[in-house]
Amino acid sequence: MHIKTSSLLSVLLVVAAGVLLPSASTFAAKQAAGKNTASKAPAAKKAVSGKKAVPSKKATLAANALPPLAAEVALAGNAPALPAKAWLLMDYDSGQVLAGANVDEALPPASLTKMMTSYIVEQALRTGKLKPTDLVTVSENAWCRGTSAESCMYLPLNSQATVMDILRGIIVQSGNDASKAIAEHMAGSEAGFAKLMNAEAQRLGMTQTNFVNPTGLPDPAHKSSAKDLAILARAIIRDGAEFYPIYAEREFKYNGIKQGNRNALLYTDPSVDGLKTGHTSEAGYCLVTSAKRNEMRLISVILNTHSAQARADLTRELLNWGYSQFEKVTPIQPSAVVANAKVSFGKTDAVAAVLGAPWMLTMPRGQSVQTQFELKPGLEAPIAKGAVIGKVVATANGKPVGETLLVAQAEVERSGWLLLAWQKVTHLLGK
């Protein structure tokens, strides 16, 4: 009996072992698999971290930046080199280029074009050709369909807007629809308005400019230069003082849609009061800016840089350089008598020559200025008070840096007939 029991137990042990062994081997396999997975995990992690990183937007913009463009002209030292296709700094009062590179290269101006569009509207308002309350109709051609490909004022199709709302839509919101609508209102078509734009550009001395449309939308023939755009900015400030504050407005709301001015410097630099931004793929990011600190107004132009942030930063750098390197100089005080001009056949034989208007020059800091006057020869009475009788020229380091007119401080009446006869005799004898 004992022997049988032992045999039975052996059989049971064998069966149990047969059942348990597969489970053990399975567990061992799982353990081995776990070890393999664990050993491979760092390698997998390494593989993930080794994937090509997606560059940030900032890195992409920096990679697209042009190499720094050094100044080709600079009237003071340490002029910056700026990563743009063209740049310029101009003194507003004289129109003198203080520094710049590629200033005459014809480039696509993008929405900087709208400075000419707004300038023509402003001059038409000044002369009475347009009234602020005139209504402008929005045609299907002018109507903006709301795509992200262009900037819009969002004028409804077939609606009407006042000229002043249109002007703000052009300047503050950079509306292509507003620009097209006013072009059609004033000239019948965009092409007709472009003729007005080019005639005005020629009158202002913009020699490298050709406009094809009022918006700046890309066209191979649509070009302008940094210097030409600075000339235009100067004209806007000079000829439209009553409208120029619009260029400093930070936002404009129309048709329930409020849009901010794209000129970032208006929000960060209290000395900046205009003018216009521009951007297309071909033109890059562009900015024309004017700033006034104390008595000095400067105009800057940045054409085709790589981002909206860059155009603001480069403008800030250029303006800060200008204000640190230049100062306003008064060569002659407004009340000073520059010379006494000899006058023939008058009740007096001389008249004081004075400045026709206050005269200031923008000069490199610490540079001395010399002046020399030139009077008109053979002055004869009568001479009216304020009549131009000469000029005064300023030089620095032997080079002309500016000039202004001299005028008669007082009226000089012509002599009576008896005195006049005597003066003529002595004049002849004197010869």
Helix, strand, or coil here: 178?
helix
Q: Is 30 a catalytic residue?
A: no
CA distance 24 to 31: 10
Residue 400 host element (H or E) = strand 399-408
Amino acid at 132: P
**Residue of 85, 114, 276, 391 marked active site:** 114
Amino acid at 250: R
CA distance 248 to 263: 9
The pair phi, psi for residue 372, each rounded to 5°, is -145, 130
Q: Is 376 a catalytic residue?
A: no
**Residue of 111, 179, 300, 415 marked active site:** 111
DSSP code, position 295? T
Burial 352-364 (b: 16+ CB within 10 A, else e): bbbbbeebbbbbb
Helix, strand, or coil here: 291?
strand
C-alpha 300, offset from chain centre: 6
Beta bridge partners of residue 408, listed in sequence order:
353
Q: Is 111 a catalytic residue?
A: yes
- Rounded to whole angstroms, the maximal C-alpha distance in the chain is 177
**Residue of 85, 118, 151, 174 marked active site:** 174
Across the chain, how many H-helices and E-strands are there?
10, 17
Indicate which residues carry an active-site annotation.
Answer: 111, 114, 174
